[in-house]
Amino acid sequence: MNAPSPVKLTLVVAAVILCWAYSPIGVHLGLHSYSPGQLALLRFLIASVFMGALALVMGIGRPRLRDLPWLLVLGFFGVFLHHTSLNSGQQWVTASASSVLAQSAPLFSVLIAFFCLKERVSAWRWGCVLLGLCGVLVVIRGDQGMADLDPRGLLILLAALSWSVYFAVQRHYAHRYSPLTLACYMVWFGTLMLGVNLPGLPAAVIRAPMSVNLAVLVLGVFPSALAYLAWGYVLKHVEVSRASVAMYLVPPVAMAMAALLLGEHIGLQLVLGGLMVLASVAAISLETRWVRSPRCTAG
């Protein structure tokens, strides 16, 4: 199979960035008519139907019986806990701040590696974590101010933590299933867990304005389904370390979209804190590449 052209790959990456940058904007709009749990369920009901149609057309593998508990764990951390926490926290912070705080997941990956997996963590990584956490404080101060901060807004950090756990588990099972198969079961199992929010949802859908339901429809199809498939396509043709650099563009694009679509004011402190968080995440990624490079050349 011929490799796609650089132009095609660039367009696909740009589409992924736009999809994921829209996510906090769509959540902000959806929260006008839905509770955090209802919004998460409706979003992933739409994504589940869409993924089901793709599975019928493209075909997916059946999960092994012994892998079912871990697929449930992926659905819990990657969908249920992540999006419930994200939606709940975004009630108290702006979409711009949410887009930055959600990118702090690699910082928690370092903490998980040290405290849970008992891995050795270098001084460089500890410095990155410290810089990133300072950036989180600057984002919070620039967004709401420390005095006006509602602690419930920090639930977005729980969403970042849950995403780190999801990614740690996902790495062990990615080789057993295709990206589409793994994404389908994660979405379906996570949606099943979100079913606890079903009471009252049909009535909320009827009451919600058409503009809000359209925003949620876009949220369910693009960031929750198509973006994951497009990202899987990119990773087939580009190294993960190179492709991941593009994800640092998600918060700036989300800020621009929030300013344009929601009229949010992007303050200097919010920008500075965002740069600190993204710089710390990028530095962690760079250290990983520096450590792996000698091993690759030696082999």
What do you get for the CA distance between the two ends of the chain, in Å? Answer: 27
Q: Which pTM does this prediction carry?
A: 0.85
Phi/psi region, residue 145 (left: phi>0; alpha: psi -120 to 50; beta: rest), is: left
- State the CB neighbour count (10 A cutoff) for residue 260: 10
Q: What is the pLDDT of residues 190-212, one digit of tens each?
A: 999 999 999 999 999 999 999 99
Answer with the residue of higher pLDDT: 20 or 3: 20
Angle between helices 268-298 and 123-143 (to 10 degrees): 160
Angle between helices 210-221 and 6-30 (to 10 degrees): 140
The amino acid sitting at 6 is: P
* Domain count for the chain: 1
134 falls within a domain: no
143 falls within a domain: no
Q: How many helices (H) and strands (E) does the chain have?
A: 15, 0
Answer with the residue of higher pLDDT: 130 or 111: 130
Share above pLDDT 70 across residues of the chain, in percent, rounded to a whole number: 89
182 falls within a domain: yes
Taken in order 3, 4, 10, 11, is the CA torsion positive or negative? Answer: negative
pLDDT at 296: 36
Q: Which domain holds residue 253?
A: 6-117+151-265
Q: What is the pLDDT of residues 28-45, one digit of tens each?
A: 999 999 999 999 999 999
Q: What is the pLDDT of residues 272-294, one digit of tens each?
A: 999 998 898 888 777 655 444 44
